[in-house]
């Protein structure tokens, strides 16, 4: 696939790969991986449509208002069209600029239309078949458009060049308002995201998910970029970048070492979180803070609700709870408690078990701690869905289902076809510096009540994570070669 720049920022001409012989050719219309690799923002195709038009038919300039803005990929299957787009993003350097591209079956070109653009086309031949895909559902309530021949934009539709004397328009397009009469455009919400702890498992996947949704105005920071314990540096970065959304993943997470490094753990998890909270408040940004099941003591028989009183057993849990208390004093905040996380970018239980399988025939694994493994790729999607709302408060979020660590380990071995014996041991027999809760089962009641979907089952998550690990290994082999 070849990506060709246009005159408008973020709008590209696409030339898909073609493979053929004397019989004809094959060409993929859309391959998500290619778009991700090229940083082109289609967040997931939800609809594909076609329209047939006679010569002189003008369709557009259409768009959907926020929050259901759409990105499009368009092409011509028969005939010929002149495809036209207008940049309606007020903060863009190409605001109110337009560009046009000829699309034909012969040239095989496509046009990528990003969010924040009005889109239309004119059919230059009879029976021109136009095809497009979009990454957000059609919504009549959010459907909108601007006048097709707005003098402020001054589009050259090339009617004279193609001998078009009779222009065919829908009544809706004839009635569109001109830009001079529009003060209500809501086509594009351009928000900036700041993510801390971007080199950690969750922070890494949060950034990947934002990019997958076509959001690239992301300041992804780690310790080398911003010391969260330094309030002056934090305030300076926040004021200069001025994010609307802050996702705070950075933390001191080594549970055992925290017992010996209380001061450092507190500086990062409490003082650092306080700095992030105050900086968010200063610029009126939404803040989402990642917390842990370890704020509870695990003594409860049933599921822990968000309203249950925390009672952490270790330094890590205590400092994360103190961080929660800092965040909860800010009205535009979310607290997400999660557990037993695993992701592609960092150390985790699954990787540890698979590494042990290379040298061991049996392993000892704790059997009396129960909780939910959580795939950071799944959690990242929910986090972004959460922060884009105003449903502030505390949430519990992890993959569905519960297990003990030994069952978790057994499933990891079985799903990776590793013949390893798992020996069950009790927490009291495990040499650990930090006391851990036996019951980490979290209720998702707050998610359900606020209309958010639950994450997939933890075994399904492990299966998909295995696939991701295998893909990473294939890439590494290619690089080594």
Sorted by sequence, the CB contacts under 8 Å of residue 352 that are 6+ apart come out as: none
DSSP for 264-287 reads: HHHIIIIIHHHHHHHHHHHHT-EE
Indicate the helix (H) or strand (E) that contains 403. Answer: strand 403-404
- In terms of Cβ atoms closer than 10 Å to its own Cβ (0-12, 13-18, 19+), residue 254 is middle
Strand 72-78 to 24-26 pairing: unpaired
Sign, CA dihedral 373-377-378-381, equals positive
Q: Point out which residues pair with 220 in neighbouring strands.
A: 195
Closest CA relative to residue 120, chosen from 88, 82, 93 = 82
Closest CA relative to residue 461, chosen from 348, 404, 354, 376 = 376
Distance in angstroms between the alpha carbons of the first and the last residue of the chain: 24
In 3-state terms, the chain is what percent helix, strand and coil (to 5)? 30, 25, 45
Indicate the helix (H) or strand (E) that contains 13. Answer: strand 12-15
| Cα 6–chain centre separation | 26
CB contact burial 110-131 (16+ within 10 A = b; e otherwise): bbbbbbbbbbbbbbbbeebbbb
Active site residue ranges: 316
**456: helix, strand or coil:** strand
Closest CA relative to residue 62, chosen from 190, 183, 169, 212 = 169
Sorted by sequence, the CB contacts under 8 Å of residue 233 that are 6+ apart come out as: 226, 227
| Cβ–Cβ under 8 Å, residues 371 and 399 | no
Closest CA relative to residue 190, chosen from 14, 400, 10 = 10
Which tokens is 240 given? 């200069």
Closest CA relative to residue 337, chosen from 293, 387, 300 = 293
Phi, psi of 58 (to 5 degrees): -110, 125
């Amino acid at each position: 696939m070849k990506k060709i720049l246009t005159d408008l920022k973020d709008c590209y001409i696409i030339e898909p790969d073609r493979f053929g012989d004397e019989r004809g050719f094959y060409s993929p219309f859309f391959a998500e991986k290619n778009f991700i690799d090229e940083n082109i923002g289609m967040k997931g195709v939800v609809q594909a449509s076609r329209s047939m038009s006679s010569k002189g038919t003008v369709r557009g300039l259409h768009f959907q208002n926020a929050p259901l803005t759409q990105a499009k990929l368009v092409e011509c299957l028969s005939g010929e069209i002149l495809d036209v787009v207008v940049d309606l993003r007020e903060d863009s350097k190409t605001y109110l600029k337009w560009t046009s591209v000829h699309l034909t079956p012969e040239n095989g070109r496509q046009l990528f239309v990003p969010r924040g653009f009005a889109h239309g086309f004119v059919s230059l031949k009879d029976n021109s078949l136009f095809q497009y895909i979009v990454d957000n559902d059609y919504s009549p309530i959010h459907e909108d458009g601007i006048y097709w021949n707005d003098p402020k934009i001054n589009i050259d539709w090339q009617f004279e060049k193609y001998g078009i004397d009779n222009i065919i328009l829908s009544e809706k397009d004839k009635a569109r308002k001109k830009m001079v009469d529009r003060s209500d455009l809501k086509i594009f919400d351009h928000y900036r995201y700041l993510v801390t702890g971007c080199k950690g498992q969750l922070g890494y996947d949060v950034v990947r998910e934002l990019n997958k949704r076509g959001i690239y105005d992301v300041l992804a920071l780690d310790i080398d970029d911003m010391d969260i314990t330094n309030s002056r540096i934090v305030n300076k970065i926040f004021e200069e970048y001025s994010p609307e959304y802050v996702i705070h993943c950075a933390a001191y997470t080594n549970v055992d070492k925290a017992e010996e490094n209380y001061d450092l753990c507190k500086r990062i998890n409490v003082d650092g979180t306080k700095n992030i909270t105050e900086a968010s408040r200063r610029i009126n940004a939404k803040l989402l803070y990642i917390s842990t099941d370890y704020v509870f003591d695990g003594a409860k028989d049933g599921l822990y609700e968000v309203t249950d009183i925390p009672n952490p057993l270790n330094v890590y849990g205590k400092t994360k709870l103190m961080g929660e208390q800092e965040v909860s004093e800010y009205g535009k905040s979310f607290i997400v408690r999660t557990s037993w996380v695993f992701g592609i970018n960092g150390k985790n239980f699954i990787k540890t078990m698979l590494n042990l399988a290379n040298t061991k025939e049996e392993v000892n694994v704790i059997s009396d701690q129960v909780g939910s493994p959580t795939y950071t790729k799944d959690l990242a999607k929910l986090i972004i869905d959460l922060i884009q709302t105003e449903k502030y408060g505390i949430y519990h979020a992890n993959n569905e289902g519960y297990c003990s660590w030994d069952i978790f380990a057994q499933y990891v071995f079985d799903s990776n076809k590793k013949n390893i014996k798992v020996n069950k041991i009790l927490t009291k027999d495990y040499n650990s510096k930090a006391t851990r809760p036996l019951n980490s089962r979290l209720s998702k009641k707050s998610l359900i009540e606020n209309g958010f979907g639950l994450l997939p089952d933890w075994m399904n998550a492990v299966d998909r994570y295995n696939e991701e690990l295998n893909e990473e290994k294939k890439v590494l082999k290619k690089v080594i070669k």
